Amino acid sequence: MANAWQGLQELDGWLRPLAVAFAAAGQPIFLVGGSVRDALLGRLTHDLDFTTPARPQEIIEIVTPLASTVWDTGIEYGTVSALVKGMTLEITTFRADQYDGQSRNPEVTFGDTLDGDLVRRDFRVNAMALELATEGEHTFLDPLGGLDDLAAGVLDTPDSPQISFNDDPLRMLRACRFVSQLGLQVAPRVESAMQDMSTQIQRITVERVAVELNKLMLGEQPWSGLDLMVTTGLAEHVLPELPALKLTQDEHRQHKDVYWHSLKVLGNAVELERERGMKPNLELRWAALMHDIGKPETRDFNENGNVTFYQHEVVGARMTRHRLRALKYSKQHIKDISELVRLHMRFHGYGQGNGSAEDDGTWTDSAVRRYVTDAGDLLPLLHLLVRADCTTRNKNKARRLQRTYDGLEQRITELQEQENLEAVRPDLDGNQIMEILQLKPGRDVGRAWAYLKELRLDRGPLDREEAITALKQWWAEQQDHAEQDHAQHQQHKEK
């Protein structure tokens, strides 16, 4: 236990004043829930949860002298938030809520005992408390055996899981999140109840579902939480594209298991983040999970009986947009994640020529420029996604794919040094185009700008005279086409 509370010792300098302030008011205060669990796991954060029998208005009076800021936005639920020496505290009055079984919003009722407060919490590992002492050792309280569950790596409910999940179905999704974040395994009775009650998740708003999914996706083992969602049936209601990846295998037409491949790619992406010292990236992880969701819709077999998934990345991008919109993700998240899905196959074909000495399959500079330009700011994440997707049991093939992508990244670096690929723009701007072609602002200026950008991608940077010559030649061709179209239109009218 001494080692388990080492993280709390660093906070003792301000925990004591908090205990003193509440004791002076004749009230105890307890560190509770996930804060205690995380302290035991050595992962305590600066966002801490407390509980007390003091009513909300009294909490405000006690904590205000200690805090730089106090918020009462959660006061209707008995929660007062405060900023104390850089720590964010949430202090909640003991609760003894009643649920109606129809929504997850309880009838808020304040309680008078710690045990009554703890038994209404979601899981036993979140139902431990530490009573703060003004001096000496703080008192650890664990009436429901949360410490034993934590030591065993088990996630179980204080009450029966059926009662717990009927009170708040979101707890089923929280179970999947804790599996991802903490590496715990749900107790058999919990998994059974989740399977029986999975449809109840539909009582929860999509906004709350999305919050839990994000926490799950940013966990240390998101694939474990997602697999629990699938095995219990929760995914059918919140992310149906995931179980749909479990394509039926034809013994004569074998192909890679798309479901497990997708979880593997997600795991690879997490590992790449860690290798590069990155923080967990939500866009990368979602793209890794969703990159192949277009395969069930595009699966076909060619004349040789081999499976094909033509254009699955295009279909997958559309399906990704649809799902993330349904979950009410931000427009930027939807755009970035679906674009990564759309682009993840672009690399394949690079370095795969026809076998002749003249064709090694490497792209032209123009193709490399387009790859970089299409990816834009997403290029670093696209690099990681493509590498994460290089999964195969053939180790030689896997190493060859990684070497090939090494070569592409080196090409990009070389061109970047020469041409600043991240800022690829036409060699002439809109004002120069209007001056050279004697145009007024309008559609033709936009068309000319787009032409020059395509030329820039194809040929690289041009000097001013080359760009002007090319622009004038293009414009003359446009005028010729317009005259021909006009003549054909007149002939058609005369007939």
pLDDT beyond 60 at 455: yes
For 85, left (φ over 0), alpha (ψ -120 to 50), or beta? left
- In this prediction, residue 357 carries a pLDDT of 42
347-373: average pLDDT: 68
**Percent helix / strand / coil, the chain, rounded to 5:** 60, 10, 35
Q: Does residue 273 lie within any of the structural domains? A: no
108: domain range?
Answer: 1-152
Mean pLDDT estimate for the chain? 86
pLDDT band at 253 (very low <50, low <70, confident <90, very high): very low
- In this prediction, residue 296 carries a pLDDT of 87
pLDDT beyond 50 at 251: no
Domain count, the chain: 3
* 16 shares its domain with 115: yes
* 295 shares its domain with 378: yes
pLDDT band at 254 (very low <50, low <70, confident <90, very high): very low
Q: Does residue 130 lie within any of the structural domains? A: yes
* 412 shares its domain with 452: no
- In this prediction, residue 19 carries a pLDDT of 94
Q: How far apart are CA 158 and CA 126, in angstroms?
A: 9
Distance of CA 94 to the CA centre of its chain: 34
pTM, rounded to two decimals = 0.81
**Residue 224 is inside which H or E element, if any?**
helix 222-232
* 458 shares its domain with 363: no
Q: Does residue 461 lie within any of the structural domains? A: yes
* 360 shares its domain with 489: no
Q: Does residue 67 lie within any of the structural domains? A: yes
Q: How far apart are CA 171 and CA 159, in angstroms?
A: 13
* 387 shares its domain with 456: no
Task: Provide the CATH number for the domain around residue 29.
Answer: 3.30.460.10
Comparing C-alpha atoms, which of 137, 152, 141, 133 is closest to residue 33? 141
- In this prediction, residue 103 carries a pLDDT of 55
Domain boundary among 93, 123, 152: 152
How do residues 180-217 score in pLDDT, each as one tens digit? 999 999 999 999 999 999 999 999 999 999 999 999 99
* 335 shares its domain with 479: no
- In this prediction, residue 487 carries a pLDDT of 66
Share of the chain above pLDDT 70, in %: 87
Q: Does residue 195 lie within any of the structural domains? A: no
pLDDT band at 441 (very low <50, low <70, confident <90, very high): confident
Do residues 36 and 128 touch, judged by C-beta distance below 8 A? yes
- In this prediction, residue 214 carries a pLDDT of 97
Domain boundary among 152, 177, 209: 152
pLDDT beyond 90 at 352: no
